[in-house]
Structure 1
C-alpha cells in the first residue's frame, strides 16, 4: 500500500505543468524577430490591456507560450502593418470573446485562429520587401508608373526592394491611373503627408525627447493614434465634399 502511494505521488510529481517564462526569457524568445523589443515595451502593452500575464504571489509576471504567441502577433502587426494598438486590441478582444472577425487588422483576409507564431509569420509574409518585378506582379503597374512615383518621391526604394508602404502606394496609384490621374497629379499628397508628419513630430516631441524605452514606446503609439485620426479626418472631409456633388 505504501509503495502504491509512493508510486502515485511519483506519477503526480511527473505530471506536466504549464510552462511559464519570466520577462527575460520572453525577450530572448522574441529578440531574433523583434530586435528592438524591451521589457518596457512589453509592460506598456500590458498597461494598454493587450496582454495579461499571470502573477506570482510575490507579484512577478509569468508568461505562458500563449502570451508569447500573442506578443508575436501584436508586434508583427505593429511592425508590418503599422496599425494603432487600439485596432489590434479591438481585434484581440473580439477573438477573446469567442467571436470570429471576418478580417484581421489591416484588412488581411485570413481566417482567425488562435494567435500563434504561424499566424504572425503569415502576416509578415504578406508585407515582406518586394523586388521591382514582384511589385509589378502584385499591383499590375508598369515600369513607367513606378519610375514616376519614384521621381515624385511618392515611394522609396532600398537595395532594389520596396516595402509594404510602397506596395500600397503603387496599388492606389495604379487604380488612379485608370481614371487618368497621373503621378505628377499626386505630388500634393506627398506635401500633405510631410506636413502631417511635422504635425505628429511636434505633438510627440515632449515624450519622444525622453530616453526611457517606455517613453519611446508611448511616443510611437501616440504617433500612430494621431496619424489614424488625421487619416479619418481627411477621409471625412473628402467624402463629405463628394456627397455634395449630387446636390
Structure 2
C-alpha cells in the first residue's frame, strides 16, 4: 500500500502546505513499491492522460494524494496484469464513475482453479489467446500481423501466445506513440536473441545433467543470468545515450 505524506518537506522539492507534492517527492513515495519508476515514467503517464497534476504559476507539477494513489494503481496493473495504458485508463475511469468493472484478465490463471500444482506436477506456462492479446495491447489484427512479421511476438503452434507476449505488445505499442515503428525494433529483437543464446550456452550443460536436482537448478540459473543481462543491456543503452535514469 502506498503511504502518501500529509505535507511538509520530504524527498526532492518541498511539498506545499496544502499537502500537494512535487514530482521528486512522488517519485520517492512510489519507489517503496516500484523501485524501477522514474520521473520520465511519471511524466509519460501524465502525457497519456492517466493523471492530471496541478501546475503552479511557474509551471511546476504538484500532485495530490489521489494522484499518487492513481499512479500506484496504474503501475500495479502494468506490473501484475500486463495491461496496456489504454485499458488501464478505461478501467480506472469506469471505477471513478462508480461502475463495477472487473479487471481484464490475460489468462495467467486457470479459471476456477486457485490451487497450487502438486509438487510432482510441472506448472503449466501461462498462455493467452489472440483475442486477449489484441485487447491487452489495444491494437487491431493488422498491427499484430505486422509485429509478427518482424518476430516481435510469435504465436504458439495452437495459435495462443505466451503471457509475456502481452508485455512485449504493450511496450511495442507505447514505443509506437513516439514514432518508433516495428521495423525499427528488429535490431532489439536480434540483440535479445543473441543474449538469450549466450545464456542458453551457459546453462545447457546443467539442463543435460543426469541429476534431476541439477536440471532443476538450471531454471534458477537461467532466471539469474537473464536478470543480469537485462541490467547490463539497460546500463549500456544509458551509457551510449549519455543519460542516467533516476
TM-score normalised by the shorter chain: which range applies? 0.3 to 0.5
TM-score by length of 1: 0.47
Larger radius of gyration: 1
TM-score (norm 2): 0.47
Greater percentage in helix: 1
